[in-house]
Amino acid sequence: MFDIATHPISRRWPARHPDRIQLYSFPTPNGVKASIALEELGLPYEAHRVTLSDADVKSPEFLSLNPNNKIPAIIDPDGPDGAPLALFESGAILIYLAEKTGKLIGSTAADKAQVIQWLMFQMGGVGPMFGQLGFFWKFAGKEIEDPRPRDRYVAEAKRLLNVVETALDGRDWIAGDYSIADIALAPWLRSLDFYGAREVTGWADHPNAVAYLERFLNRPAVQKGLVTPPREG
Ligand SMILES: N[C@@H](CCC(=O)N[C@@H](CS)C(=O)NCC(=O)O)C(=O)O
């Protein structure tokens, strides 16, 4: 059992409201999953900005919470059996928060299995592949002359986009009802715009996905979660 006040993370990012869930994050597609879920579920929380710079994510204080040096991470002071719980990996955080509240994770065992299926599809497929696409299309990897890595991730992103497009036929949300699977998936669909990769992946030719993202972005909790914690300030 630990105390938020004495946890090493608090040396750098002290809690003003230690009774609330502490969120350590930055508004990237993975980071906003946690803030959007907290907003959607109405859980009181305090957000700390941990940038992607080594000075933050590789600081001893942050590594004490996530040895994998990636945002998001949380501490729930009121975890299972009332003991504090520290957690990293956005998918694990989404499942934990949904189970804590009994919301956004399906109401039957079959629904829950579908939600987890699409959540894993995002965690193991869309996130890593779109992330690599971003690297090879927009960031440092675009200077690499060999076109094969770029082509590979463009093709994989297109393939995944088609899976999403087909799955959304006749449904508003990826697993049926709105769930943590949407909170995981939609921010990554949004990232194609940030990567300047809408055209190359044929985004506009996927009307179900386009309407889905708009539906998601219209939710007030999503709008709040997308800017929490603020990038600057
Ligand atoms: N599988 C992890 C991935 C998290 C992740 O990639 N976070 C990125 C920002 S989107 C990060 O913190 N990068 C900093 C670094 O790698 O140094 C999750 O879903 O939580």
Q: Which tens digits make up the pLDDT trace of 18-65?
A: 999 999 999 999 999 999 999 999 999 999 999 999 999 999 999 999
- Find the DSSP H helices in the chain: 9-12, 31-41, 54-57, 60-63, 90-101, 109-121, 127-137, 148-167, 180-194, 198-201, 207-217, 220-225
pLDDT at 1: 75
Which residue lies with its CA nearest to atom 15 of ligand 1? 70
Q: Where in the sequence of the chain do the CATH 3.40.30.10 domains occur?
A: 7-103
Indicate which atom in ligand 1 lies nearest the CA of residue 71: 12
pLDDT at 156: 98
Q: Give 109-221's CATH code, choosing from 3.40.47.10, 1.10.10.10, 1.20.1050.10, 3.40.50.300.
A: 1.20.1050.10
Å from CA of 169 to ligand 1 middle: 31
Domain covering 7-103, topology: Glutaredoxin (3.40.30)
Indicate which atom in ligand 1 lies nearest the CA of residue 70: 12
